Amino acid sequence: MDRDKQLVKRIGIFDSGAGGLTVLKKLRASIPGVTYYYLGDTARLPYGTKSSETIVRYSKQNASFLLSRRIDILIVACNTASAYAIPALREFAEDIPVTGVIYPGARRAATTSQNGRIGIIGTTATISSGKYQNKLKELDPDLKVFTTPAPLLVPLVEEGLISGEIPEKVILMYLKPLLEKNIDTLILGCTHYPLLKQTIQKMVPELKLVDSAEPIKDILLQEYRFPGGNGKTEIFVTDYPEGFGSLSQRFLEGNFDKIEHIDLQNLWRIPDDKKIKKTR
């Protein structure tokens, strides 16, 4: 029964930048009564070029800030952080459920593909981690998985170049080797990439596109209960680059209560062995 499920009032979400706002957008549309706290670590992006040790350290700092907001669930909306930091974050956050984007996306792709041939595009670090590939093989050892890093897609999205000749040429450069493998499903392994969905679908109409926002929403609705009404949305950034406000509007397509700059490195230096417990 729903009454037996944990009531979730506050959800924390972090990403290295604005990309995770695509996850926030999906959650707000389906679960509007929650208060959302979103942290974009814009001062230290991109995570996709960092070492695994640095990614884990940054992720703990992000988590410590969001946990100070007394969140009930932590969502890691960064594919790179999901690839490297989830086990450390689950130990670090202790009694707070931590959800990444890789397992939900992989599970959705495994059940979506008809011919068992799945392509993945993402940052260099996400692809190199092998986490999507390994998770897909755990779900179904018979799947054939093909990958390619697509680092140029993030700056295109952040410049607002999500349709037209330039993004189509870049997308084709990355997709051509995957399409030659006869994939029927493509995992968009970066939270920026959903903004390119319409362009990719126009180029390859028969290709099934999977990002993690929809399956994360489904998992939350299955496992938790939520208050009614309308919650609020607060956005925090570690740097406020020019145009971030308009970029947030483009990703989120809706209002939010505030954007606040925070000095994450100075205020939230947490030793590796320090754990944060939720207080009520």
Select which of 171, 190, 213, 235 is catalytic. Answer: 190
Write out the two tokens for 146.
């093909």
Alpha carbon 178 to its chain's center: 22
- Is residue 239 within 8 Å of 259, Cβ to Cβ? no
For the question of residue 190 being annotated catalytic, the response is yes
Select which of 13, 18, 76, 78 is catalytic. Answer: 78
* Kind plus residue range of the DSSP H or E element containing 151: none
Count Cα neighbours of 123 within 13 Å in the Cβ-side half-sphere: 25
CA distance 71 to 97: 10
Task: Calculate the CA dihedral of residues 222, 228, 234, 235 and round it to 10 degrees.
Answer: 30
Burial status of residue 147 (CB atoms within 10 A of its CB: 0-12, 13-18, 19 or more): buried
List of residues 6+ apart from 69 with CB closer than 8 A: 10, 12, 37
Alpha carbon 268 to its chain's center: 22
For the question of residue 60 being annotated catalytic, the response is no
- Is residue 123 within 8 Å of 147, Cβ to Cβ? no
CA distance 62 to 268: 8
Residues serving a catalytic function are: 78, 190
